[in-house]
């Protein structure tokens, strides 16, 4: 296999500017880190989704910072070229920017290139604090799983004009604060495409339509090993694939070709 050039933040920004779709999947261990990047995935997310798919929790809220640090270190040892993002778990950054810095520092020292935090408004100050001190930040708007109880459940966000305008305002504030990437989860495809056009940074969608700069899914969901009912935006890439690596290659190819997600099947 030809060795891939390591992904950088500048390359991700260039991909966004040129319209080259970015591929991202969640990853929690060294073996899958190697497999995913060999299959062409450019960005790995150590998501706090591990609480649900690995630990059997009902939500992401119980995940501890120590657990995120452990899994980030595992993934970092398995990757060679992929860009590595790690979630700041619930309770590790809400108290103050200083708390966020201490938490983010542990994830970066474990091997993360970037940290991700959820929410808009108050988070802009935290993003600025981290970026000014040398830690790249990915923001997360729309459906924010850590605060799903406040949102009334796993519902599409930004459906009405007021909610859409607030989401756009928060996105712009986060960019102005220094965020270098944004995840949009479960928002109408038209709104996500508008946000992607208005921002100078990559916008990664999950249930946000094909108009984003790239796509992310939970690994266990797209491999069809997560028990129970899956969200509408998930596609079973194991269907018709002879191996896990082939399934991931199909995912990469479909994101690049903009055949996933499909408007009528995986979007809102």
| Tokens 């969640």 -> residue | 26
Report strand pairing: 22-26 vs 43-46: parallel
Tokens of 143: 């459906």
Would you say residue 185 has pLDDT above 50?
A: yes
pTM recorded for the entire structure? 0.95
The pLDDT, as a whole number, for residue 1 is 44
| Distance of alpha carbon 91 from alpha carbon 2, whole angstroms | 42
Q: Which CATH number fits domain 9-266: 3.40.640.10, 3.30.470.10, 3.20.20.190, 3.20.20.60?
A: 3.20.20.60
Residue numbers annotated as active site: 185
**Nearest alpha carbon to residue 126 among 88, 84, 183, 166:** 88
**Cis amide bond preceding 167, omega within 30:** no
Q: % helix / strand / coil in the chain, to the nearest 5?
A: 40, 15, 45
The model's pLDDT over 143-183, given as tens digits with 9 standing for 90+, comes to 888 877 665 666 788 889 999 999 999 999 999 999 999 99
| Distance of alpha carbon 191 from alpha carbon 181, whole angstroms | 17
Farthest CA pair distance, the chain: 50
Please return the burial class of 117, using the count of CB atoms within 10 Å of its CB with bins 0-12, 13-18 and 19+: buried
């Amino acid at each position: 296999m030809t060795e891939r050039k390591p992904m950088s933040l500048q390359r991700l920004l260039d991909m966004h500017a040129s319209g080259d779709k970015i591929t991202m999947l969640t990853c929690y261990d060294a073996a899958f880190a190697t497999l995913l990047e060999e299959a062409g995935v450019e960005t790995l997310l150590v998501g706090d989704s591990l609480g649900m798919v690995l630990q059997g929790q009902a939500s992401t809220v119980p995940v501890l910072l120590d657990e995120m640090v452990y899994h980030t270190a595992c993934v970092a040892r398995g990757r060679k070229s992929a860009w590595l993002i790690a979630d700041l778990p619930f309770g590790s950054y809400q108290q103050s920017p200083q708390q966020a810095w201490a938490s983010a520092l542990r994830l970066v020292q474990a091997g993360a290139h970037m940290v991700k935090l959820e929410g808009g408004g108050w988070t802009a100050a935290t993003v600025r604090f981290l970026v000014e001190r040398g830690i790249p930040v990915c923001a997360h708007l729309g459906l924010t799983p850590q605060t799903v109880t406040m949102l009334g459940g796993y519902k599409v966000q930004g459906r009405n004009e007021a909610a859409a305008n607030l989401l756009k305002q928060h996105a712009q504030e986060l960019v102005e604060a220094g965020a270098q990437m944004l995840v949009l989860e479960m928002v109408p495809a038209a709104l996500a495409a508008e946000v992607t056009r208005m921002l100078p940074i990559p916008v990664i969608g999950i249930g946000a339509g094909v108009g984003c700069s790239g796509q992310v899914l939970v690994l266990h969901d797209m491999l069809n090993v997560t028990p129970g009912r899956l969200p509408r935006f998930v596609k079973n890439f194991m269907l018709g694939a002879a191996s896990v690596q082939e399934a991931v290659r199909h995912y990469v190819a479909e994101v690049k070709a903009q055949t996933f997600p499909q408007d009528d099947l995986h979007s809102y």
